Amino acid sequence: MLSLLDAMESGFVPGKCVLVASNVADAPGLTSASARNVRTAVVDHHGSSSREEHDEKLLALFREAGVEIVCLAGYMRLLSPVLLKAFPHRVLNIHPALLPSFPGLHVQRKALEHGVRFSGCTVHLVDEEVDHGPIVLQAVVPILPNDDEDTLCARILTFEHIVYPRALKLLCEEKIEVRNGRVKLLIPLREYTELLNDLVYRVEK
């Protein structure tokens, strides 16, 4: 969340954060957003009888605040069609693995247990399934021989802070088009290759 705010405040992302909302009252992101004079709100899901009712409350809040794009950051609930239909292809999420591999939780642990050589992170457009939906950008991070879950998480987190603002920038600039369930980036090939080069961790010899 802070990386997205930094990117907007610096002008890298041509947008403004109008609201930071959480279903958890003591979420640290609320305090951080308030410190930057960003409006915050809490919508406790325990006060709703269904996922749809909770999302209706969120949607009313989003509309009142003028939200046009929704970015998930540590939001541990599935979104219902109530929100997804209101923001078609306008809800972003980041996941600390190279989807479609390893959705869900404890993904670095799973990657180490499976012995894969590369991990990373994925920014995708959200649909009704867990960690699913058209992929916007991915960053590739190698798994080193001495890695454990903590070291791998830390290396991937560095790239999460890089890839998420870049994906949001593309969406804000309307350079993302969804065709047959896949994202097409509406940017020149040279810009695309430069972008990909920025999203690969290089192991020093």
**Domain end (from 88, 120, 143):** 88
pLDDT at 204: 81
Q: Do residues 71 and 103 both lie within one domain?
A: no
Q: Do residues 16 and 101 both lie within one domain?
A: no
C-alpha–C-alpha distance, residues 133 and 126, integer Å: 5
Query: CATH number for the domain including 5?
Result: 3.40.50.170
Q: Of 103, 98, 89, whose CA–CA distance to 132 is shortest?
A: 103
Q: Do residues 10 and 104 both lie within one domain?
A: no
pLDDT of 205 above 80 = no
Q: What is the pLDDT of residues 6-26, one digit of tens each?
A: 999 999 999 999 999 999 999
Q: Do residues 75 and 99 both lie within one domain?
A: no
C-alpha–C-alpha distance, residues 200 and 42, integer Å: 36
Q: What is the pLDDT of residues 107-151, one digit of tens each?
A: 999 999 999 999 999 999 999 999 999 999 999 999 999 999 999
Q: What is the pLDDT of residues 50-69, one digit of tens each?
A: 999 999 999 999 999 999 99
Q: Do residues 44 and 72 both lie within one domain?
A: yes
As a whole number, mean pLDDT of residues 156-175 equals 98
Provide the 3-class DSSP secondary structure of residue 51.
Answer: helix
Q: Do residues 135 and 200 both lie within one domain?
A: yes
Model-wide pTM > 0.85? yes
**Domains: count for the chain:** 2
| Active site amino acids | 95
Q: Identify the residue whose tokens are 């369930």.
A: 181
pLDDT at 144: 96
**Domain end (from 41, 57, 88):** 88
**Domain end (from 58, 88, 118):** 88
pLDDT at 179: 96
As a whole number, mean pLDDT of residues 172-192 equals 97
Q: Do residues 196 and 168 both lie within one domain?
A: yes
Q: Are 113 and 124 in contact (CB under 8 A)?
A: no
Q: Do residues 30 and 13 both lie within one domain?
A: yes
Q: Do residues 40 and 118 both lie within one domain?
A: no
Q: Do residues 193 and 164 both lie within one domain?
A: yes
Q: Do residues 195 and 98 both lie within one domain?
A: yes
Strands 182-185 and 176-179: antiparallel
pLDDT at 123: 98
Give the structural domain span for 4: 1-88
Sign of the CA dihedral running 52, 55, 61, 62: negative
Provide DSSP, 139-200.
EEEEPPTT--HHHHHHHHHHHHHHHHHHHHHHHHTT-EEEETTEEEE-S-HHHHHHHHHHTB
Q: Do residues 58 and 153 both lie within one domain?
A: no
C-alpha–C-alpha distance, residues 93 and 121, integer Å: 10
pLDDT at 62: 98
Q: What is the pLDDT of residues 185-204, one digit of tens each?
A: 999 999 999 999 999 999 88
